Structure 1
Amino acid sequence: MHGPDPSDKHPMKGFSQVCFIKNTMNNPNIIIGDYTYYDDPEDSENFERNVLYHFPFIGDKLIIGKFCAIAKGVQFIMNGANHKLSGFSTFPFYIFGNGWEKSMPKAGDLPYKGDTVIGNDVWIGYQALIMPGVKIGNGAIISSRSVVTSDVPAYAIVGGNPAKVIKQRFSDETIAALQKLAWWDWPVEKITENLHTIMSHNIEAFRD
């Protein structure tokens, strides 16, 4: 055997709290990698309800890599939440029509931070909040109830509001080696054969 079937919504038989969410996506602007799971006892299949203000006419994407662990209540704020900041009022009069549509902002008037991109093997803790356009590196850990407003380096642990780097998980040399090895892109058979090394902290054995 070579691990669970990545096309199975609920890979833990009889335990629907965990869902491989790639298999539940309907929105083409949400891209999820294999084996990434969402853990929610209420409705683990409905991950999309946690992606807020994600309007198709804006076109921004939420991209999450492989082998990520996402806890209940994690939310992603997308660019549609932004209001025009340069005027005296931030109220979006134009969305209500009835003559107010004439105040529609021009292209570029609304803040736009780009796509939100989460790397591979990222652990996002309970009720963390990820703001628009944030990039989170491979192997990072986001502490519970963090508010992530800026990019997170690979293999960093962050926490707080706004989230700050608490520490690096490994040395710079080890992080560079892990980035180069990119085990998440290996064939699943190779991953299965090397699970002990992947879950260890022996970088020399990993290189070998």
Structure 2
Amino acid sequence: MPFPSPDTFHPIKLPDGTVHKGTVFLKAALEHPRIEVGDYTYMSAHQPLIDPSDIAQRLAPYLWDFAPEKLVIGKFCQIAHGVEFITASANHRMDGLSTFPFLVFGGGWEGRASMPEPGQDTVVGHDVWLGTGAKIMPGVTIGDGVIIAAGAVVTRDVPPYSIVGGNPARVIRRRLDDADATRMQRIAWWDWPIDVITQHEVEICGTDLSALEAVGR
């Protein structure tokens, strides 16, 4: 059976031929001007995912259409049920005597007196696995190949090929050391044509980095 196109809304077919409505390819499922998602990145939930606006709301509930920041997610990421990106527009001003956002209630969204300055984009690399209920805080950059444990609250940048967990999340261990992580990022298998990727699933999912490098030459 051919691998589904990244533009497929529900890419998983069950044994009886019906589609699994709890998993979507986000590139096909999202309609949001401030979210960018790479090919084959999927999101799963314990209930059907059908409405594009609802999917965006679940994923990044504070990222308004007019927000100055963006959420950028790479290719082949795996996003489990309940993952939330708390983007910069959720922030309150923290450098003054009060954190109360007066202008929001007065209809003055363009005002700055009680609002924080625009925050940074939140960026997720390629082939990142975000476990159930993980929360990613504003402005965080998550490197390629990272695993975020279930329930983790990620408050700072995560180096490539690390496993992080806890609240606040910390590096539990590295999946690859710096040298091998650099080799993986140089290979960048996620940029290969999908037929080449599926042909070399054994090397991509295996443990022999040299064998994967040989494929990419």
Give the alignment's TM-score, normalised by structure 1.
0.91
| Whole-angstrom CA distance in 2 between matches of 1:2 and 1:134 | 35
Match of 1:48 in 2: 56
The Cα of 1:48 is off from its aligned counterpart by: 0.7
Q: Is the 8 A contact 1:82 1:111 kept in 2?
A: no
Structure 2 gaps of 5+ residues are none
Determine whether 1:165 maps to 2:171.
yes
1:73 alignment partner AA: G
| Whole-angstrom CA distance in 2 between matches of 1:112 and 1:126 | 29
1:63 alignment partner AA: V
Q: Is the 8 A contact 1:83 1:111 kept in 2?
A: no
1:139 alignment partner AA: G
For this pair of structures, how many residues does the alignment match?
205
Q: Is the 8 A contact 2:93 2:116 kept in 1?
A: yes
1:2-27 per-position Cα deviation (integer Å, ceiling 9, x unaligned): 52222111111222111111111111
How has the CA–CA distance of structure 1 residues 105 and 111 changed in structure 2, closer, same or farther, with 3 Å as cutoff?
closer
| Whole-angstrom CA distance in 1 between matches of 2:12 and 2:189 | 23
Structure 1 gaps of 5+ residues are none
Q: Is the 8 A contact 1:120 1:184 kept in 2?
A: yes
RMSD: 2.1
Q: Is the 8 A contact 1:84 1:105 kept in 2?
A: no
Stretches of 4+ aligned residues off by more than 6 angstroms: none
Question: What are the residue-to-residue correspondences of 1:14-25 with 2, within 5 Å?
Answer: 14=18, 15-25=20-30
| Whole-angstrom CA distance in 1 between matches of 2:95 and 2:22 | 44
Q: Is the 8 A contact 1:18 1:37 kept in 2?
A: yes
The Cα of 1:112 is off from its aligned counterpart by: 3.8
Q: Is the 8 A contact 2:149 2:165 kept in 1?
A: yes
The Cα of 1:96 is off from its aligned counterpart by: 1.7
